A and B are shown apart, each in its own frame.
Chain A
Amino acid sequence: MERIPILKVGEFLLVSIQVDMHDRLVLSLQDDLTAQVVVSRAKGVLIDISALDMVDSFIGRMLGNMAAMTRALGAETVVVGMQPAVAITIVELGLVLTDVRTAINVDKGMALLQNLLNESSVIDSHEFHEK
């Protein structure tokens, strides 16, 4: 069966979408990704959509779902590499990716995740001292 590969890179998971996904493939990615976050104990997820030439409301909703699900499991998700034509189209379509963090490329996305991770560890240690 077709699958989108999920790679472990340090503390993060990297998903690079290289094919035009049909709906079932998107749903299986959602299942695989949440399972992998738990198994790998990853603190962050990068979803690279630079090869995706179209994001419709279904794919957009699934990106939002994946961000919310991984957050519930303690990992932040950053969607990286959206093509400009895709950005123009989703805004006109009316799709708002609220709650989905984005970055221009994998490098910037990785840096954003690292920052989020550092911030949360500072907060954790404060909480620890107060107790």
Chain B
Amino acid sequence: MNSTKSNTLALRSCEDIVHVRQTVRTWMVEQRFTLVDQTKMVTATSELARNAVDYAGGGTAQLELLEESGRIGIRVLIEDHGPGIANIEQAMTDGFTSGQGMGLGLGGSKRLVDDFEIWSEPGKGTRVSITRWK
């Protein structure tokens, strides 16, 4: 798997969430992903970016354009150094929420993408990687 383009964006404020999702949208339009693919990936990115800003004091979003045996993919890695998640399985369940959200963030985002990976350690932070293939 080759990474052909990469860009890391800051996630500190709610304006940054908008900037990150618009950048993902632009990359996907350039790569001619379908409108439904774009919308799903942008929505999943928005959910995860908001988690980082609202519950973890901010973080970063690393966008990557991937190529694997002729297939094109977009990967977004959201990383924060917040409180982390003690029970990931529970956090992935719909309806689970630690804040005022509806608890759709993690489980819902997973359903909107092709690949979803999460690493988290209490006290250290959380990394979530989502990929959508064309």
Contact = CB atoms under 8 A, between A and B. Distances in A.
Nearest to B108: A93
Contacts of A60: 102
Interface residues of A, number: 23
A95 B40 CA distance: 13
A60 B38 CA distance: 18
A55 B43 contact: yes
Given A54-B21, A56-B43, A89 B94 contact: no
B104 A93 contact: yes
Interface string A51-63: 0011111101100
B14 A24 contact: yes
Interface string B74-100: 000000000000000000001000000
A6 interface: no
Contacts of B39: 53-54, 83, 85-86, 88-89
A60 to B, nearest CB: 8
B131 interface: no
B105 interface: yes
Interface of B: 13-15, 17-18, 21-22, 25, 35-36, 38-40, 42-43, 46-47, 50, 94, 101-102, 104-105, 107-109, 111-112
14 contacts: A20-B18, A53-B42, A56-B43, A56-B47, A61-B102, A85-B39, A86-B39, A89-B112, A92-B112, A93-B108, A93-B112, A94-B104, A94-B108, A95-B108
Interface of A: 20-24, 53-58, 60-61, 83, 85-86, 88-90, 92-95
Given A20-B18, A23-B17, A57-B105, 11 more contacts: A21-B18, A53-B39, A54-B43, A57-B102, A61-B101, A85-B36, A88-B36, A88-B39, A92-B40, A93-B47, A93-B112
Cβ-closest 4 pairs across A and B: A23-B14, A93-B108, A85-B39, A22-B14
